């Protein structure tokens, strides 16, 4: 396994042509896994010896003679035996050894499967991710995979980590909207092949990380599936199930937009300002009959900004990210069904609706053909943006001049070289890696990878340790965008340069047009 080379930047991010891969020396991993288990045994032996000191009969004899010192000794012994102290250390080291061994076996099994199945690999993006277990590779590894989002529920049996995936998912799903996903996963597991997993070892890494996390905290309660990570689970399904069947796009309906320049409609100034609108519309869905964002009749909000830019009038399309997590398609198209359709390379209702919205907006303004268009989106919105830029039909109708994506798996979108793409990714955000391949490394496609989870200039306290899903949040990407705006890194400046025609020269003249977009059955 080899990984791509990244170029480190002084500002704390990496600028490169695509997301990372997996590079591991499996023999070394297995050897160190054994070493870790030995280490755990030795530490256990030492801790036991220290424990024997605590019950030495000399201590009670000495106590009457030196009561104050005896109290200090007792306190020192208590500190050694404290919960979470040395007594658990040995177990934790051994568990880490087990996890590492499982990781090595997982990689090795996948390598073997890849060799056997390479000819039958299908490239459909919708079949990319088989984080859900029950694959032969997983069984061979003695490990049931689970993605990043499901925490806890692990047991250690027979020296190997075993996670009963489906009950855990079911348990998690009972507290989220993902219960139905379990049934879909069960069916998908039989059709999505191990060859897919084997062909995309980067995805194994996510599974390995999930396993490691579980082992790190085997007592953790079964947690809620992180909806953002559920996007990855969904990609496992893709076209392999009819459950996630996209419908037809309804006619877009103009909405009364919030005032330009308000928090709900930020002025397109700088990368942060351009991206902020995409995050903002994600938080402004149009409620359905029951007033909720995902129920019957609910709609998503797509925004088109008319901007007087440096070179004349320009258009900025801001596409929302996923908000609805049911695998059953509803009327709001910002849902898992759109995720799956886009991941599978299909046109989605959402993409069609964005096309209609832009057409409506430009028509209302009597825009001239060839006025420049910038497509911006976070997560699902970025997938839509890149997908539209890659669509020849869309490009024939609109003059796409740039694309910005944040936290989106877009490597598979064949955006022409002449259209600059700026992709923001966070090192610990699993979502942009879910397509299992690196973004194209070429002059016109810049991928900036920041690490908001580690100490450094890109650190964001909103990203909690051990919670990779946090790094996917739109607000965290806005922080990265703001730092990029302030950066003097010439590569970053070069990546931002194509966006300047879309920045408002006069914020008061920005026209906001919002549209409700719905899916019809």
Partner 1 sequence: MIVDPQYLRRMARQASSHAEDLRQEARRLRAGAGVRWQSLAADGFRGRLAALAGSADGAADRADVLAGALRREADDVEAELARLAALARAAEQLAEHAVVDLGNGLTGGAAALGAILSDGLSDLPSRAGR
Q: How far is the CB of 50 from partner 1 (least distance, A)?
A: 5
Interaction of residue 32 with partner 1, rule CB under 8 A: yes
- Among 9, 100, 279, 376, interactor with partner 1 by CB under 8 A: 100
Choose the binding region for partner 1 from 66-74, 183-191, 220-228, 357-365 (rule: CB under 8 A).
Answer: 66-74
Interaction of residue 287 with partner 1, rule CB under 8 A: no
Q: What are phi and psi of 67, to 5 degrees?
A: -60, -40
- Cα angle value 261/263/269 (rounded, 5°): 50
Under 8 Å between Cβ of 271 and 404: yes
Interaction of residue 3 with partner 1, rule CB under 8 A: yes
Element (H, E) at 384: helix 380-389
Distance between CA atoms of residues 345 and 498, nearest Å? 26
- The residues, ordered by sequence, that sit 6+ positions from 165 with a Cβ below 8 Å of its Cβ are 132, 133, 134, 144, 145, 146
Q: Which residues, numbered 442-471, are part of the site for partner 1 (CB under 8 A)? A: 466, 468
Taking the CA atoms of 30, 131, 220 and 463 in sequence, report the sign of the dihedral they define: positive
- Among 9, 93, 340, 373, interactor with partner 1 by CB under 8 A: 93
- Among 12, 15, 17, 36, interactor with partner 1 by CB under 8 A: 36
Taking the CA atoms of 456, 458, 461 and 466 in sequence, report the sign of the dihedral they define: negative
Please report how many Cα atoms fall inside a 13 Å half-sphere around the Cα of residue 456, on the Cβ side: 15
* Residue whose C-alpha is closest to residue 107's, from 220, 3, 240, 216: 3
- Among 8, 34, 61, 254, interactor with partner 1 by CB under 8 A: 61
Residue matched to tokens 């390379």: 345
Q: How far is the CB of 21 from partner 1 (least distance, A)?
A: 7
For residue 56, how many other CB atoms are within 10 A of its CB? 10
- Among 21, 152, 261, 507, interactor with partner 1 by CB under 8 A: 21
Interaction of residue 220 with partner 1, rule CB under 8 A: no
Please report how many Cα atoms fall inside a 13 Å half-sphere around the Cα of residue 235, on the Cβ side: 32
Q: How far is the CB of 96 from partner 1 (least distance, A)?
A: 6
Torsion of Cα atoms, 247 then 252 then 256 then 259, to 10°:
90
Q: How far is the CB of 391 from partner 1 (least distance, A)?
A: 31
- Choice between 415 and 471, CB closer to partner 1: 471
- Choice between 288 and 430, CB closer to partner 1: 430
Interaction of residue 16 with partner 1, rule CB under 8 A: no
Burial state string for 63-89 with b = 16 or more CB within 10 A and e = fewer than 16: eeeeeeebeeeeeebeeeeeeeebbee
- Among 11, 127, 205, 425, interactor with partner 1 by CB under 8 A: 205
Choose the binding region for partner 1 from 95-103, 313-321, 334-342, 359-367 (rule: CB under 8 A).
Answer: 95-103
Q: How far is the CB of 428 from partner 1 (least distance, A)?
A: 7
For 140, the 3-state DSSP assignment is helix
- Choice between 29 and 140, CB closer to partner 1: 29
Interaction of residue 28 with partner 1, rule CB under 8 A: yes
Distance between CA atoms of residues 40 and 492, nearest Å? 46
Residue matched to tokens 């990984």: 3
Residue matched to tokens 């302030």: 486
Interaction of residue 209 with partner 1, rule CB under 8 A: yes
* Residue whose C-alpha is closest to residue 287's, from 304, 301, 268: 301
Q: Which residues, numbered 409-428, are part of the site for partner 1 (CB under 8 A)? A: 427-428
- Among 23, 34, 497, 506, interactor with partner 1 by CB under 8 A: 23
Binding site for partner 1 (CB under 8 A): 3, 20-25, 28-29, 32, 35-36, 39, 42-43, 46-47, 49-50, 53, 56, 58, 61-62, 65-66, 68-70, 72-73, 75-77, 79-80, 85-86, 89, 92-93, 96, 99-100, 103, 202, 205-206, 208-209, 212-213, 216, 427-428, 430, 433, 466, 468
């Amino acid at each position: 396994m080899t990984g791509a080379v990244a170029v480190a930047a002084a500002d704390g991010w990496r600028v490169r042509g695509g997301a990372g891969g997996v590079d591991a020396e499996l023999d070394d991993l297995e050897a160190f896994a054994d070493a870790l288990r030995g280490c755990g045994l030795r530490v256990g032996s030492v801790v036991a010896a220290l424990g024997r000191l605590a019950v030495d009969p000399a201590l009670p004899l000495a106590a009457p003679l030196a009561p104050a010192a005896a109290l200090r000794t007792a306190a020192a012994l208590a500190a050694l035996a404290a919960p979470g102290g040395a007594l658990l250390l040995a177990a934790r080291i051994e568990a880490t050894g087990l996890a590492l061994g499982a990781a090595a076996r997982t990689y090795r099994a996948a390598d073997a499967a890849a060799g056997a199945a390479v000819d039958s690999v299908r490239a459909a993006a919708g079949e990319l991710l088989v984080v859900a277990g029950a694959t032969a590779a997983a069984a061979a590894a003695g490990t049931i995979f689970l993605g990043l989002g499901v925490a806890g529920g692990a047991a250690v049996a027979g020296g190997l980590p075993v996670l009963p995936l489906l009950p855990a998912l079911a348990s998690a799903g009972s507290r989220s909207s993902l219960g139905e996903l379990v049934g879909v996963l069960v069916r998908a597991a039989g059709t999505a092949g191990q060859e897919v997993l084997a062909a995309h070892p980067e995805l194994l890494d996510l599974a390995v990380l999930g396993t490691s996390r579980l082992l790190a905290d085997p007592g953790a309660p079964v947690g809620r599936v992180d909806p953002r990570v559920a996007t990855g689970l969904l990609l496992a399904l893709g076209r392999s199930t009819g459950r996630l069947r996209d419908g037809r796009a309804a006619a877009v309906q103009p909405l009364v937009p919030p005032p330009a320049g308000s928090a709900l409609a930020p002025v397109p100034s700088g990368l942060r300002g351009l991206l902020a609108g995409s995050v903002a519309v994600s938080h402004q869905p149009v409620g359905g009959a029951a007033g909720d964002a995902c129920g019957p009749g609910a709609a998503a909000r797509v925004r088109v900004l008319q901007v007087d830019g440096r070179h004349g009038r320009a258009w900025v399309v801001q596409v929302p990210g996923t908000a609805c997590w049911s695998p059953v398609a509803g009327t709001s198209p910002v849902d898992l069904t759109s995720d799956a359709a886009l991941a599978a390379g299909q046109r989605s209702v959402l993409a069609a609706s964005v096309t209609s919205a832009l057409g409506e907006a430009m028509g209302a303004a009597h825009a001239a053909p060839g006025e420049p268009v910038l497509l911006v989106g976070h997560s699902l919105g970025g997938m839509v943006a890149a997908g539209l830029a890659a669509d020849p039909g869309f490009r024939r109708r609109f003059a796409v001049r740039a694309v910005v994506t944040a936290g989106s798996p877009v490597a598979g979108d064949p955006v022409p070289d002449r259209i600059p793409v700026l992709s923001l990714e966070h090192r610990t955000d699993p979502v942009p890696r879910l397509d299992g391949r690196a973004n194209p490394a070429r002059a016109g496609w810049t991928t900036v990878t920041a690490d908001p989870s580690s100490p450094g200039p890109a650190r964001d306290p909103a990203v909690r340790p051990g919670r990779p899903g946090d790094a996917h949040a739109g607000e965290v990407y806005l922080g990265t965008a703001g730092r990029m705006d302030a950066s003097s890194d010439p590569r970053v400046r070069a990546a931002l340069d194509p966006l300047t025609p879309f920045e408002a020269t006069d914020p008061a003249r920005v026209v906001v047009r919002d549209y409700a977009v719905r899916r019809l059955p």
